[in-house]
Structure 1
Amino acid sequence: MTDAIATPTSPAPSAGRRVPLWDNARFLCVMLVVIGHGIQRQTADSNNALIVYLFIYAFHMPAFAIISGYFSKSGSPNGRQMKKVITDILIPYFIMETIWTAVQFFVEGKKSFNPTEPSWTLWFLLALGIFRLILPYLALLRWPLLWAVLFSVGVGYFDNVDSTFSLSRAIGILPFFVLGWKAREWKLVDRWRNAEKTTWWVRGLAAAVFAAWLAVLIVFIPQFREMDLRFWFFYDDSYRGLGEDQWWAGLVRLGLIALATLLSAAFLVLVPRKETWITGFGQATMYIYLLHSFILYPIRETGILRDEHSSAVWLLGMIFACIAISIVLTARPIRWLFRPIVEPKPNWLFLRSLNEPDKPGRTDPTGSRRS
């Protein structure tokens, strides 16, 4: 979050000036999330769908975590900042989890309400909350990024660290969040934004990285299907749960972290740095993230995307449909209608001293600041 926690040595992000690069990156990231969820059912019967799925899942959530980390700070939070953790993360989480419980009750007959097990996309909200708790302590240590990587690799050896409160997944992608936080300290993105010359070869190199990853997927897709590579990209199960209990299983995750870092860097290099037609959509990141699953849920559960409906034509159709869904969910009427559950303001819950009017341009948990 942009106004989460502050330290004297960490420069705060610009409060009044929007940076198109970040809005563009947020929208493209969340659009990839929607596409990945949209085509997931087709991966069972189509290698083409699995190639696209693995191409996306190798980096899209790590990139999302990097962006969120870039707009986070590491000092002790004050009361208003702690309040935002409740209003921007915890309350929306419980609201959306309650809605999902009702949907699954009426559609699937499930009768349990268990907020300790996040439904579908809600794990990332809890992960953001966990990141907020961990970062101030990591910032006290030397080499916080190294420690984050060690935690991520090490947690896979413990079967008892599972998806409860998204703990295993949060620790799994923690290095990317910390990398984003450190990237702002290192001014890496500022240097790229201000670079005017020799950018063509950097973008060319980034495109080559993606082309190489795509080529690897195409050549080895039978092996990747057999080893269930997609589950490794979730950073959720223990190595034993993934079917690999050898001592070197952590090296596989370490390699995937390196791959995700490389692909995320290539992604950010290719994101337009100037304002484009997608820039405004980046201000509604959380609306897309939290609401798209309700649109895709009936499509996924009916099984319509299986068998002959997993063809290349259907795959392309689903990709374009997911892009359209991402755009529609940024519309002003949609935001007006669903603001009470995505951006609740339960001022009655807090002390009067914490209920001062918000500054213009409220930020969401990914750092998106709306005009």
Structure 2
Amino acid sequence: MTDASTSPPKTRTAFWDNARFAAIVLVVFGHAIQRLTYDSDAAEALYLLVYAFHMPLFALVAGFFSSSAEPTRRRMARLFTDLIAPYLIFETLWTITQFLVTGRTNLDPAQPSWTLWFLLALALFRLVLPYLALLRAPVVWALAISIVAGYLPSIDSTFSLSRFLGLLPFFTLGWWLREHDVVARAGLLAARPVWLRAAAATVLVTAAALAFVFVDTWRDVRLGTWFFFVDAYADLDAPQWWAGGVRLAIIALALVLMAAFLVLIPRRETRWTHLGRYTMYVYLLHTFVLYPFRQSGVLRGLEPMGLWIPVVVVASVGIAVALSSRPVRRLTRPLVEPRMPWLFRDRELGAGRGS
């Protein structure tokens, strides 16, 4: 997802916009297919594959484009206008929507609705990065924090704290990769040989096959819930001392799948490259598109299931393209990218300008 609170480079790299757009399609697909998992093992396997790495990928990309420098006035203001304000706006919209649909409401900004947790996590990532960067081996510290957090039942989803801590290693790793110029020095944006692309595809296909073959086992151990980075280990029926090792294995799995996914992303400019700049629109708006289908139950009991899964794939791409289109952006910009000059003493800060 595009984190508007970052300062993008002067020249954009097609690869990263391609990766953002491909990743946001996975987000839409994961949410769209969720209701199908109750009736289809194949859908459950694809759901597990997507959730194993798609949000860690967003955290890594956000970290890659983040700075650990001392915050400027402009960056501090944009943290609010680009993350906190949209969070409050969409949290309010979700409260109204749920009241209209169910007749019940519970406006509690401390408990994010559905996908809005990631905005709070991004804000927290950005706030702590300058401090984390002061330490030796910050990635190791972030990894230790993530693993230890799972042992503490007092850390929950309030203000997205559990997910922020759980995903912190990915965000920190993304920043570290840029800080040490690893991508350029290792030539990771160069053309990839056919054998490497074949190996990456094999990794993803193998992961999907293992998810399908052992789908009942993964359900029994609640693997999908582990991928959320929300619950403490004890709440996942794993109070044992070695539970942190499971999270470590999940983090390692996410890194492998992310690497395979990124190998397959085109390095050149494509017809959909420019849409990667607007993934925040897709992220915040797609749930309103999917909500009627999820609530109505039309996604349950669809037959033949083998036909409907490809339909959901195509629909997910279509939704991502539509929601990142210029007409939708123009209509929803005041919600997704609010500018609030009236809020700040320096009105230029609220307009997205200033230092």
How far has the Cα of 1:306 moved from its partner? 1.4
**Is 1:28 the counterpart of 2:16 in the alignment?**
no
- In the alignment, the residues of structure 1 paired with residue 337 and residue 296 of structure 2 have an alpha-carbon distance, to the nearest angstrom, of 31
C-alpha distance after superposition, 1:230-263 (max 9, x if no partner): 1010000111111111111110010000000111
CA contact under 8 A between 2:64 and 2:176: conserved in structure 1?
yes
| Counterpart in the other structure of 2:104 | 110
**Is 1:89 the counterpart of 2:89 in the alignment?**
no
Name the aligned partner's letter for residue 187 of structure 2: W
Match of 1:195 among 162, 181, 190: 190
CA contact under 8 A between 1:46 and 1:311: conserved in structure 2?
yes
Q: Given the superposition, is the C-alpha separation of residues 310 and 66 from structure 1 closer, same or farther in structure 2, using an over 3 Å criterion?
A: farther
CA contact under 8 A between 1:2 and 1:13: conserved in structure 2?
no
- In the alignment, the residues of structure 2 paired with residue 59 and residue 120 of structure 1 have an alpha-carbon distance, to the nearest angstrom, of 18
- In the alignment, the residues of structure 2 paired with residue 356 and residue 341 of structure 1 have an alpha-carbon distance, to the nearest angstrom, of 14
C-alpha distance after superposition, 1:43-68 (max 9, x if no partner): 11110100110111111111111111
Match of 1:144 among 133, 138, 162: 138
- In the alignment, the residues of structure 2 paired with residue 297 and residue 144 of structure 1 have an alpha-carbon distance, to the nearest angstrom, of 39
| Counterpart in the other structure of 2:254 | 260
TM norm structure 1: 0.90
Q: Given the superposition, is the C-alpha separation of residues 2 and 166 from structure 1 closer, same or farther in structure 2, using an over 3 Å criterion?
A: closer
How far has the Cα of 1:3 moved from its partner? 8.6
| Counterpart in the other structure of 2:264 | 270
| Counterpart in the other structure of 2:128 | 134
Q: Give the aligned length.
A: 351
CA contact under 8 A between 2:341 and 2:347: conserved in structure 1?
no
**Is 1:305 the counterpart of 2:299 in the alignment?**
yes
Name the aligned partner's letter for residue 147 of structure 1: W
| Counterpart in the other structure of 1:204 | 198
Structure 2 gap ranges (5+): none
| Counterpart in the other structure of 1:8 | none
Q: Which deviates further from its counterpart, 206-215 or 254-263?
A: 206-215
- In the alignment, the residues of structure 2 paired with residue 119 and residue 353 of structure 1 have an alpha-carbon distance, to the nearest angstrom, of 31
CA contact under 8 A between 1:138 and 1:144: conserved in structure 2?
yes
CA contact under 8 A between 2:343 and 2:350: conserved in structure 1?
no
| Counterpart in the other structure of 2:9 | 14
Name the aligned partner's letter for residue 192 of structure 1: G
Name the aligned partner's letter for residue 115 of structure 1: P
Q: Given the superposition, is the C-alpha separation of residues 116 and 310 from structure 1 closer, same or farther in structure 2, using an over 3 Å criterion?
A: farther
CA contact under 8 A between 1:42 and 1:309: conserved in structure 2?
no
| Counterpart in the other structure of 2:308 | 314
Q: Which deviates further from its counterpart, 223-232 or 252-261?
A: 223-232
| Counterpart in the other structure of 2:92 | 98
CA contact under 8 A between 2:339 and 2:351: conserved in structure 1?
no
CA contact under 8 A between 2:150 and 2:244: conserved in structure 1?
yes
**Is 1:174 the counterpart of 2:178 in the alignment?**
no
Corresponding residue SS for 1:112: coil
C-alpha distance after superposition, 1:27-84 (max 9, x if no partner): 0111100000001011111101001101111111111111110000102101111000
Q: Given the superposition, is the C-alpha separation of residues 110 and 212 from structure 1 closer, same or farther in structure 2, using an over 3 Å criterion?
A: same
- In the alignment, the residues of structure 2 paired with residue 185 and residue 208 of structure 1 have an alpha-carbon distance, to the nearest angstrom, of 31
CA contact under 8 A between 2:139 and 2:172: conserved in structure 1?
yes
Q: Given the superposition, is the C-alpha separation of residues 255 and 340 from structure 1 closer, same or farther in structure 2, using an over 3 Å criterion?
A: same
CA contact under 8 A between 1:55 and 1:217: conserved in structure 2?
yes
CA contact under 8 A between 1:101 and 1:112: conserved in structure 2?
yes
**Is 1:79 the counterpart of 2:78 in the alignment?**
no
TM norm structure 2: 0.94
Corresponding residue SS for 1:192: coil
CA contact under 8 A between 2:77 and 2:349: conserved in structure 1?
no
How far has the Cα of 1:303 moved from its partner? 1.2
Alignment of 1:284-363 (within 5 A): 284-309=278-303, 311-352=305-346, 354-355=348-349, 358=352
C-alpha distance after superposition, 1:216-238 (max 9, x if no partner): 21221121122221101000011
